[in-house]
Amino acid sequence: MTDDLLDPANPALLPAGLSDLLPPEAAREAALVEAMMAVFASHGYERVKPPLLEFEEGLLTGSGAALAEQTFRLMDPVSQRMMGLRADTTPQVARIAATRLRGAPRPLRLSYAGQVLRVRGTQIAPGRQLPQLGVELIGVDSAEADAEVAALGVEALAAVGIADVALDITLPAMSPALLDAAGLEGAARHRLARALDRKDAAEVARLAEMAGPPAIFLTELLAAAGPADGALAALRAAPLPEEPRRIADNAAEVVAALRRRLPGLRITLDPVEFRGFRYHTGAAFTLYGPGRTGELGRGGRYRSGEEAATGLSLYPDAALRASPVPAEPRRVFLPAGHDPSAAASLRRAGFVTIAALSPADDAQGLGCTHELRGTQAVPLSKE
Amino acid sequence: MTDDLLDPANPALLPAGLSDLLPPEAAREAALVEAMMAVFASHGYERVKPPLLEFEEGLLTGSGAALAEQTFRLMDPVSQRMMGLRADTTPQVARIAATRLRGAPRPLRLSYAGQVLRVRGTQIAPGRQLPQLGVELIGVDSAEADAEVAALGVEALAAVGIADVALDITLPAMSPALLDAAGLEGAARHRLARALDRKDAAEVARLAEMAGPPAIFLTELLAAAGPADGALAALRAAPLPEEPRRIADNAAEVVAALRRRLPGLRITLDPVEFRGFRYHTGAAFTLYGPGRTGELGRGGRYRSGEEAATGLSLYPDAALRASPVPAEPRRVFLPAGHDPSAAASLRRAGFVTIAALSPADDAQGLGCTHELRGTQAVPLSKE
């Protein structure tokens, strides 16, 4: 983009995966975050702001254990203990709920917004600093709670102009429960889990057949992935063992609770998917934008310390790509000696004002669309 | 605050100087930041968002050199180069202005908001993670530019309810210029600089007398600190050598430009103060809140790479302490089976709604002030 990037002595200005957000995107991202946080607040989710750095024990327990390899660590010269730069905010919110807010009434509704940092990006998501915002609903274990959180994500995205969001529900505990019920262990279990992970239907069918009765449902449930109504019908029809049946019934309750809140929402259900939900204990969900905008957020049921919880994270960088670009503000040039109260009125009316600081300042060169003459903003003619 | 803090096996939940911001302060801080950023935007300052981490060379050049000891460093496993966690945002904005925005028209107006981290806190400011927001006005060297930036700080603080702000101007180049003019070097210069730093008037007088003519003004200028008009009169009256005269005349211009913008602003001027302004090249300023609220922001003229610049940082943590506490929102309990459109109307009207998720949920226990009955929010009687 600039010569500096081509300078062989200075191969990159910034480390891979770390970047500057420039105008107007930085302002748009901040506006999206605050608009979504306002939706959370309107439903009683109160904001907390944990620090970016804390002792690694705090960051890497509970749901944080999954992110240990992705957490930057550094020595605290004050305490001589290792600290981590957070790679996720959920473990910090769990810590707050279990300590300083232990005495607060349940269900406890909390929200957060901030940056997370990761040691390495992935091929799909090369960023190593990611904005993140979300909610945690702590101390309640019910389908209503799951539905409240998932619906909140849809409402927050709608508030920033992202309509037509689709919700994909997964049941990360279903496959392990079926493998347990089939008594599968060791290499046989590992092979079947890998085939499920790859969605290799032929291999799942072959291995499940060998494994016997309850594993056979894996083939059916793999095929049942799709619109929620069809998937739920398949789950109802299958004579599942006890634990898988409980998981299936819970999924049906969550979908029903969501339908009551958002009758028009597109819901899909993939009963045997479990990728990327390493700490979820119940229904998990992913929010997708329309078209090719991809994943906008993710959440689900988990354990927050000793308590039942449901959480949701939204990705403002993805929302930025998916949301409509607002109109550029009108920019008014204020010549030397202008009337300051007229300029203040224009700012209150939504204009951006650019004051002349020297005779060299040029209205059009500075991107102004208008100029203040007397008390009026006069459009500049385009040349 | 909690038992965990008293647990001898777990002496502190968080490293010294790092803390959680809880409800309602976290939401208040975020609202203050965005309200102040909106003021900056209305004057044409466009937001940038540099990353929290970057190569240390980028962070520690220019104005960043002063913060080298305060910058957390860590090895980037991807590039095998050292990175720093920013201790200040100004060097990053300078980098952006000099590279990706090199071709943007000048004066370039940029703003930022985010967190900075420091290796150690100070006794007065023990925090090691500080929120910071600010502006940089790059590519213009004039009293008008200094006044625009200082006035912007006052306007931003007023927008969050902090009126009656006082502005203290210092001229960090004045003392060195007088010491230069007196030809003072080595130990003699160091002693006089230290006496000035301690504001030890008797010692300054004694040493200045020994040093001879131009140094003698230091005694007068130390005594002249106070309301700007008096201090400027003392500067005018003193027969200063060339460079100190230029600095004094510039101060008078900056004060005059500020008076035109904010006729009622309390301005003090301390001509020989230079503490804490290690990279400022012209007029520097500090904003103080009323009463004992202390320092709310700081800024001044500096070099941004090859360009003239003026900047300002505001401290949202200090603004949080100084600004009025807003009224708590009304919280409406939504019983099971409530009318969702009535609840949505209440949220649009500024109510916070708390939906019942189980029969155990209790309106007053959850801090609700109202309950939805039919389509009406009915106040709960206090018991």
Question: A199 to chain B, minimum CA–CA distance in Å?
Answer: 32
The pLDDT tens digits of the residues spanning A229-277 come to 999 999 999 999 999 999 999 999 999 999 999 999 999 999 988 776 6
d(CA B123, CA B121): 7
In a domain, B2, yes or no: no
In a domain, A130, yes or no: yes
The pLDDT value given to residue A11: 46
Percent of chain A with pLDDT over 70: 96
Q: Which residue of B has its CA nearest to A19?
A: B51
In a domain, B256, yes or no: yes
Taking CB atoms and an 8 Å limit, are A2 and B99 in contact across chains? Answer: yes
The pLDDT tens digits of the residues spanning A315-365 come to 999 999 999 999 999 999 999 999 999 999 999 999 999 999 999 999 999
Beta strands A266-270 and A284-288: pairing type?
Answer: unpaired
Contacts of A34 in chain B (CB under 8 A): 30, 34
pLDDT band at B148 (very low <50, low <70, confident <90, very high): very high
Beta strands A53-55 and A82-85: pairing type?
Answer: antiparallel
Beta strands B82-85 and B53-55: pairing type?
Answer: antiparallel
Q: Does any CB of chain A come closer than 8 Å to the CB of residue B145? A: yes
Taking CB atoms and an 8 Å limit, are A55 and B81 in contact across chains? Answer: no
Residues 327..346 of B with a Cβ closer than 8 Å to A: which?
331, 340
Mean pLDDT, range A96-115, rounded to an integer: 96
Say whether both A313 and A349 belong to one domain.
no
Q: Does any CB of chain B come closer than 8 Å to the CB of residue A44? A: yes
Task: Report whether pLDDT(B33) > 90.
Answer: yes
Tokens representing B2 are 């909690």
Question: B174 to chain A, minimum CA–CA distance in Å?
Answer: 25
Q: Which residue of A has its CA nearest to B28?
A: A47
Which of B89, B301, B357 is best to mutate for the A interface (most A CBs within 10 A)?
A: B357
Task: Report whether pLDDT(A124) > 50.
Answer: yes
Contacts of B347 in chain A (CB under 8 A): 42-43
Question: A166 to chain B, minimum CA–CA distance in Å?
Answer: 21
The single-letter code of the amino acid at B124 is: I
Taking CB atoms and an 8 Å limit, are A78 and B14 in contact across chains? Answer: no
Of the partner residues B13, B46, B367, the one whose CB lies closest to the CB of residue A27: B46
Using DSSP's 3-state secondary structure scheme, residue A150 falls into helix
Q: Does any CB of chain A come closer than 8 Å to the CB of residue B265? A: no
By CB atoms closer than 10 A (0-12, 13-18, 19+), residue B143 is buried
Say whether both A188 and A159 belong to one domain.
no
Task: Report whether pLDDT(B92) > 70.
Answer: yes
The pLDDT value given to residue A8: 45
Q: Does any CB of chain A come closer than 8 Å to the CB of residue B49? A: yes
Say whether both A32 and A150 belong to one domain.
yes
Q: Does any CB of chain A come closer than 8 Å to the CB of residue B257? A: no
Contacts of A358 in chain B (CB under 8 A): 140, 142, 144
Say whether both A31 and A127 belong to one domain.
yes
Taking CB atoms and an 8 Å limit, are A14 and B58 in contact across chains? Answer: yes
Taking CB atoms and an 8 Å limit, are A43 and B101 in contact across chains? Answer: no
Report whether B107 contacts B145 (CB < 8 A): yes
In a domain, B8, yes or no: no
Averaged pLDDT score across all residues of chain B: 92
Q: Tally A–B CB contacts below 8 A.
A: 225
Contacts by B233-237 with C-beta closer than 8 Å and gap 24+? B234/B271, B235/B271
Say whether both B251 and B321 belong to one domain.
no
Taking CB atoms and an 8 Å limit, are A100 and B22 in contact across chains? Answer: yes
Say whether both A259 and A321 belong to one domain.
no
Report whether B62 contacts B303 (CB < 8 A): yes
Say whether both A161 and A307 belong to one domain.
yes
Task: Report whether pLDDT(B2) > 70.
Answer: no
Q: Does any CB of chain A come closer than 8 Å to the CB of residue B237? A: no
Taking CB atoms and an 8 Å limit, are B58 and A13 in contact across chains? Answer: yes
d(CA B241, CA A94): 64
Taking CB atoms and an 8 Å limit, are A352 and B43 in contact across chains? Answer: yes
Q: Which residue of A has its CA nearest to B49?
A: A21
The pLDDT value given to residue B382: 64
The single-letter code of the amino acid at A294 is: G
Q: Does any CB of chain B come closer than 8 Å to the CB of residue A139? A: no
The pLDDT tens digits of the residues spanning B245-254 come to 999 999 999 9
Report whether B279 contacts B63 (CB < 8 A): yes
Residues 5..24 of B with a Cβ closer than 8 Å to A: which?
12-24
The pLDDT value given to residue B56: 92
Give the number of other Cβ atoms within 10 Å of residue A379's Cβ: 11
Question: B224 to chain A, minimum CA–CA distance in Å?
Answer: 30
Taking CB atoms and an 8 Å limit, are A77 and B119 in contact across chains? Answer: yes
Taking CB atoms and an 8 Å limit, are B53 and A129 in contact across chains? Answer: yes
The lowest-confidence range among A128-137, A218-227, A252-261 is A218-227
Which of B20, B79, B301 is best to mutate for the A interface (most A CBs within 10 A)?
A: B20
pLDDT band at B72 (very low <50, low <70, confident <90, very high): very high
Taking CB atoms and an 8 Å limit, are A47 and B30 in contact across chains? Answer: yes
Give the domain extent around B347. 331-379
Which of B1, B10, B13, B32 is best to mutate for the A interface (most A CBs within 10 A)?
A: B13
Question: B161 to chain A, minimum CA–CA distance in Å?
Answer: 17
Say whether both A142 and A28 belong to one domain.
yes
pLDDT band at A12 (very low <50, low <70, confident <90, very high): low
pLDDT band at B279 (very low <50, low <70, confident <90, very high): confident
The pLDDT tens digits of the residues spanning B195-243 come to 988 889 999 999 999 988 888 888 988 999 999 999 999 999 999 999 9
Contacts of B115 in chain A (CB under 8 A): 52, 114-115
Taking CB atoms and an 8 Å limit, are A120 and B340 in contact across chains? Answer: no
Question: B31 to chain A, minimum CA–CA distance in Å?
Answer: 9
The pLDDT value given to residue B122: 87
Q: Which residue of A has its CA nearest to B52?
A: A129
Taking CB atoms and an 8 Å limit, are A18 and B53 in contact across chains? Answer: yes
DSSP letter string, B66-132: GGGGG--EEE-TTT-SEEEE-S-SHHHHHHHHHTTTTTS-SSEEEEEEEEEE-SS--SS---SEEEE
The pLDDT tens digits of the residues spanning B79-90 come to 999 999 999 999
Domain count, chain A: 3
Taking CB atoms and an 8 Å limit, are B340 and A261 in contact across chains? Answer: yes
Report whether A380 contacts A370 (CB < 8 A): yes
Residue with tokens 């950023």: B37
- Which of A218, A215, A234 is CA-nearest to residue A272? A218
Say whether both A145 and A170 belong to one domain.
no
In a domain, A303, yes or no: yes
Burial call A335-367: b when 16+ CB within 10 Å, e when fewer: eeebeeebbeebbeeebbbbbbbeeebebeebe
The pLDDT tens digits of the residues spanning B289-335 come to 987 778 999 999 999 989 999 999 999 999 999 999 999 999 999 99
Which strands, in side-by-side order, build the sheet including B331-334? B352-355, B331-334, B370-373, B376-379
By CB atoms closer than 10 A (0-12, 13-18, 19+), residue B313 is buried
Task: Report whether pLDDT(A383) > 60.
Answer: no
In a domain, B282, yes or no: no
pLDDT band at A3 (very low <50, low <70, confident <90, very high): very low
The pLDDT value given to residue B12: 63
Taking CB atoms and an 8 Å limit, are A353 and B44 in contact across chains? Answer: yes
Q: Which residue of B has its CA nearest to A79?
A: B15
The pLDDT value given to residue B73: 94
Q: Which residue of A has its CA nearest to B121?
A: A78
Q: Which residue of B has its CA nearest to A30?
A: B34
In a domain, A9, yes or no: no
In a domain, A279, yes or no: no
Taking CB atoms and an 8 Å limit, are B120 and A27 in contact across chains? Answer: no
The pLDDT tens digits of the residues spanning B258-271 come to 999 999 999 999 99
Contacts of A261 in chain B (CB under 8 A): 340
Say whether both B233 and B336 belong to one domain.
no
Say whether both A181 and A203 belong to one domain.
yes
By CB atoms closer than 10 A (0-12, 13-18, 19+), residue B294 is middle
Contacts of A87 in chain B (CB under 8 A): none
Q: What is the CATH number of the domain that holds B87?
A: 3.30.930.10
Say whether both A159 and A69 belong to one domain.
yes
Question: A116 to chain B, minimum CA–CA distance in Å?
Answer: 10
The pLDDT value given to residue B6: 41
